[in-house]
Structure 1
Amino acid sequence: MAVFGTRIFLSLEKFDDIPVTLVSLRTSSASSSSPKLTPFPSWAMNKWKDCNKIQAAKGLDVDSVGRLWVLDNGSDSCSSKLWTIDLANNDQTKLIIQFPFQKLKHDLVLDETPNGTFAYISLWGEQHIVVFNLERNQSWTLDTPGIKVFSIALSPIKDQEPRKLYLGVSTTPTNCTSCIKGGNFPGKRQADESTNYALIGSVALFLVLSCIISLWITLRIRKTRNSNEKRNAGAEEMEIPTLPSPVSPELVDEEIENDLYGVVTAPPPRS
């Protein structure tokens, strides 16, 4: 999306039922009804399968002199391009550069410096960005090792501070050299769906295994606890029998003789 004056410019995804990908609408209107999207700059400039027209608009930005920069992804038969539309001069359209490579471009930001105007372009899922210089009409790639770029942005201008370039990371690995077919991106959609299904299946399997292991541990603990309780309840304390006092052999012999001869031993006299 880009804004200039009372006009808003939008880029739309290219599908079979969407005839144009670059539209505009006005923010000021006397009518209370919702504004209608208008093909921009015209229906003719959005003709599909015509390599001299806009095929699939993506990144948009407006520079300080009122030019709308349009990043065009192209199609299966047309290479990607970079257009400018002079909003202050009757929307005159100019082809700036036709890129020599066919890759899925996604976003665009402009950086106007004393050394010239630069356009930074992100490539979907690639580990580099494209840099274009307007004055030299040249483009080159800038590597971003380990970073698969999805979106791109620049920090605001602050006095003498240099601007910073921010890169949005792509979380889904995509082979962007083959994911575009007529602008419908079927390859990317299939890769996204396959990745989501595999992730959901892995999470579900992990949850099921976790529940089974947790249930097994709980049952084992409960079984061990019940066994211990039964063992404690069934245990009986054994009473130790009282043993008789030891008797000396002399007393035993004396009692035996008394029993044999009928002698009764008198108790000892009381003192």
Structure 2
Amino acid sequence: MTPRIDAHQHFWRMARGDYAWLTPALGAIYRDFDPDDLAPHLAAHGISASILVQAAPTEAETAFLLDIADKTAFVAGVVGWTEFASPDAPAAIARLATHPLLVGLRPMVQDITDDDWLAHADLAPAFDAMIAHQLVFDALLKPRHLRRLLPVLERHPQLRVVVDHAAKPAIGAGDDTAWRDDIAAVAQFPDIACKLSGLVTEAPSGWTIDDVRPYTDHLLSCFGAERLIWGSDWPVVTLAADYGRWLATAERLMASLDATARARVFGGNAATLYLSHRGRRITG
């Protein structure tokens, strides 16, 4: 039986102080979140495991998350952070990779001032180290960054990449032609996957499934069920929907797929991408 996996969730502890984006303006998520908060949602929906993703651009937070993972049976792997632009990046990646539950790394590209940062050739040693240590590059992008990802994919064809939150298209905000064209161009690279996550927080208030469907239909046409990976983006998702509503919405959006394909989107693809070489082994 294919396990159900939430491939994108967060924990944070406010007193740590390195979450620059997390301000009182975010209301309900401006508080601590830990495994005891998530566990009831996983149990209620038959989800066996999760991938815990960084929320602060520090190695201290990565250590904090790995410590949680060591103590939390349902956390199958951690996507952490290191400074890719540092001359010491290859050594830092090698050191972080000694922890078996470190399955990927995620620079917070969406928050980097230089929109062309991804295309810089001096990041090549970091990407080469990612390949050498069998780590996934989680690409936290906005639509404008998708075309900047293309040189990375061309230079590093062995790099395993997942585009987080489908690069956050501005759902219902006007012409989305550039996003559609650019996500399709990225999907031409066969080892690139995309997370079916973070979409409803990009939709207008009062969103319905019909607002989201054109975007997920396009993702299916580009990536197929073989390269789409469901994630909750909890607790950020709660700004737009509770855990169960987003999961039910995603399941309805994937209802045209057969049972085998749906199982891949809701767990099998995450297990293959993140856990086949590293991470905690899980069963359904």
TM-score (norm 2): 0.22
Task: Pick the structure with more strand per residue.
Answer: 1
Could you say which structure has the larger radius of gyration?
1
Task: Pick the structure with more helix per residue.
Answer: 2
TM-score (norm 1): 0.23
Query: Which of structures 1 and 2 has the larger relative contact order (alpha carbons within 8 angstroms, sep 6+)?
Result: 2
